[in-house]
Structure 1
Amino acid sequence: MRRADLLVGCMGLGGGWDAEPVTDEQVEQAGAVVEAALAAGLTWFDHADIYTRGKAEEAFGRALAERPGLRERIGLQSKCGILLPGEGGVMCSGETHGRYDSSPEHVRRSLEGSLARLRTDHLDVLLVHRPDPLTHPGELGRTLDALVAEGLVRQVGVSNHSPAQVDRLQAGMSEPLVVNQLETSLAARGWVESGVLVNTDEGARVGFPHGALEQALAGGPRVQGWGALAQGRYSGRASSATDPLEAAREEQTARRVAALAAEHGTTPESIVLAWLQRHPARVAPVVGTTSPQRIAACADAAAGRVHLSRAEWYELWVTARGGPLP
């Protein structure tokens, strides 16, 4: 199995975040996503046990079962560690809110549920979705090691963790953490700005965990970028920004993305993804769309056929941020 250089995010499968059963039409949609991804050269699929309350995994699993032999051709990863409202959440001001749980019991139970819904006997990667302050890193590390030893997962990683949290978890494990999935896109630029805004007032407002890219470059978990297409704001979707200046920046950036796509003979989607892939840490984008057309538009990025120059890369960055670098 090739490593995950570009993944299809499956959060949009299975219908709404409700208790309605998965329909045949939703299974067909999942199958269409799979077929479009394979045609575009994308063979990895990203899930989480909470996506549409488990229905995303169920729809995908049913589509997988209809395609004998497909499991051996694809990579599957999922996440665990979040409880949604109504599933053991907590009450606050009369409303139920979600919480985290990375205890050994919950991680194992969550994985077993994902395997059943996806109709597979193992995951290629299991990620801990969010840090749980009440689970000791050593306890979680032993749990993840055990799941690999049992053959239920091939590799393990995390999502939305800081480098310090990664280091502490890794210290108590024998298996390497291979992934840290974080929000990275041309719109959510904290992933690159955290490194250049050091020693500035502006840098104090960047929420991205500083050092994650350096950790990846040093051989630590590779950064996977969720939200990589920035919800399509630079590749065809009309701006939803309410601030006129922000809307103007988005429109200007979208025009530049379109111009670069024409110059490189590719699509706006592949330009936006190539901007992430250009970094030496080789960020692996997660494409969160269920549109077969938009998945097809990512084919050049999946194949590594788009190579932005330094000038083009910096121009996109400065245009999207709407101001000069420090």
Structure 2
Amino acid sequence: MKILPIHGTDLNASNVVLGMMRIAQLRDEEIRTLVAVARDNGVNSFDHADIYGGQRHACEQRFGDAISFGPAERESVLIQSKVGIRPGLYDFSKAHIVRTVEESLVALRTEYLDLLLLHRPDTLMEPDEVAEAFDELQGTGKVRNFGVSNHTPGQIELLRRSVRQPLVVNQVQLSLVHAPLIASGLATNMAHLDASIDRGSGILDHARMNRITLQAWSPFQSGFASGVFLGDREHYGPLNDEIDDLADAYRVPPAAIAVAWITRHPAEMQVVLGTTSPERVADAAAGSQVPLTREEWYRLFSAAGHTLP
């Protein structure tokens, strides 16, 4: 497993992260097995959010019920959570941020979060109020580092004008098929190509210039809610053929190739898995260090349906 420094922090994180958004209905033993397999495969990072599980803090509570890290092991793993989504609105008020973090800590049965991310942009955000929340949470030792999720460069810069702490992570949707933040840069200045429309607002370049770690969620999805492309030969036949060929060549499962396409990028991204299957966790983790060549990376990009001008 490749370990990456999260710039601006003292964190060293696996480039594969286990997302815990679907564990609400799992038994304690199933959660323990899932986490154990992840740890055995080198994963040291776990992703949560207060809204995961249908009820507030449901998945965090299940994780806290099932997993007990001793002091030494707790220091060796990274637990992150997200805040800001409420039913029907987004809320970056100081009161909501602080209260939600305190509830998350109780549910997770931990004294601190390694990372807290603002989940989706709140257009009514007051940056100075967010800064007050971050100062309080850091000052009391409840949160050690901060970042965002699904934010544009402009939204990040607006926050940075007030927030003293570095914003070290931006969690965004990215997969081989859903890759506008990469595809638009490759098709720039080509007016006849739909891909030339910058739907990512320059997220990739901004992250690289500011040493912000991008975390890719839904790495096997073809869109926001349009299904998994792995194994879907009806819609993604050429892509699956290319993935299978490379999986055979590298002697890894197909999921590993889909992960490797993301981790191969020099932006040094992390891949956030959403599966509850221990076998799929192991399959995906095998892609952490697959050394795709430049030619292989671009063949996958083209097979996914993206256009190279």
TM-score with structure 1 setting the length? 0.84
Aligned to 1:158, which of 130, 148, 164? Answer: 148
Percentage identity across paired residues of the two chains: 37
Structure 1 match to 2:30:
29
The correspondence of residues 55-70 of structure 1 with structure 2, limited to 5 A, is: 55-65=58-68, 68-69=70-71, 70=73
The correspondence of residues 124-135 of structure 1 with structure 2, limited to 5 A, is: 124-135=114-125
The correspondence of residues 165-314 of structure 1 with structure 2, limited to 5 A, is: 165-199=155-189, 200-201=191-192, 202-203=194-195, 207=199, 209-230=200-221, 233-236=228-231, 238=232, 247-248=234-235, 250-302=236-288, 304=289, 306-314=290-298
Aligned amino acid, residue 12 of structure 1? R
Can you list the C-alpha shifts for 1:87-117, whole angstroms capped at 9, x where unaligned? xxxxxxxxxxx21111000001110111111
The correspondence of residues 81-96 of structure 1 with structure 2, limited to 5 A, is: 81-84=84-87
Alignment partners' CA distance in 1, 2:179 and 2:104? 32
Alignment partners' CA distance in 2, 1:262 and 1:204? 34
- 1:317 equivalent to 2:301? Answer yes
For 2:286, what is the secondary structure of its paired residue? helix
The correspondence of residues 10-159 of structure 1 with structure 2, limited to 5 A, is: 10-15=20-25, 25-52=26-53, 53=55, 54-65=57-68, 68-69=70-71, 70-84=73-87, 98-159=88-149
Q: CA RMSD for the aligned pairs?
A: 1.9
For 2:121, what is the secondary structure of its paired residue? coil
Structure 2 match to 1:90:
none
Can you list the C-alpha shifts for 1:142-173, whole angstroms capped at 9, x where unaligned? 32133112210110000010001101101212
Aligned pair in 2 of structure 1 residues 128, 4: CA closer, same or farther (>3 Å)?
Answer: farther
Aligned pair in 2 of structure 1 residues 173, 165: CA closer, same or farther (>3 Å)?
Answer: same
For 1:127, what is the secondary structure of its paired residue? strand
Alignment partners' CA distance in 2, 1:136 and 1:203? 33
Aligned amino acid, residue 308 of structure 2? L
Pairwise CA distance, 1:13: 0.8
Aligned amino acid, residue 215 of structure 2? Q
Structure 2 match to 1:89:
none
For 2:210, what is the secondary structure of its paired residue? coil
Maintained 8 Å contact 1:234/1:251: no
- Give unpaired runs (5+ residues) of structure 1: 16-24, 85-97, 240-246
Alignment partners' CA distance in 1, 2:195 and 2:252? 34
Maintained 8 Å contact 1:126/1:156: yes
For 2:27, what is the secondary structure of its paired residue? helix
Aligned amino acid, residue 23 of structure 2? L
Aligned amino acid, residue 106 of structure 1? H
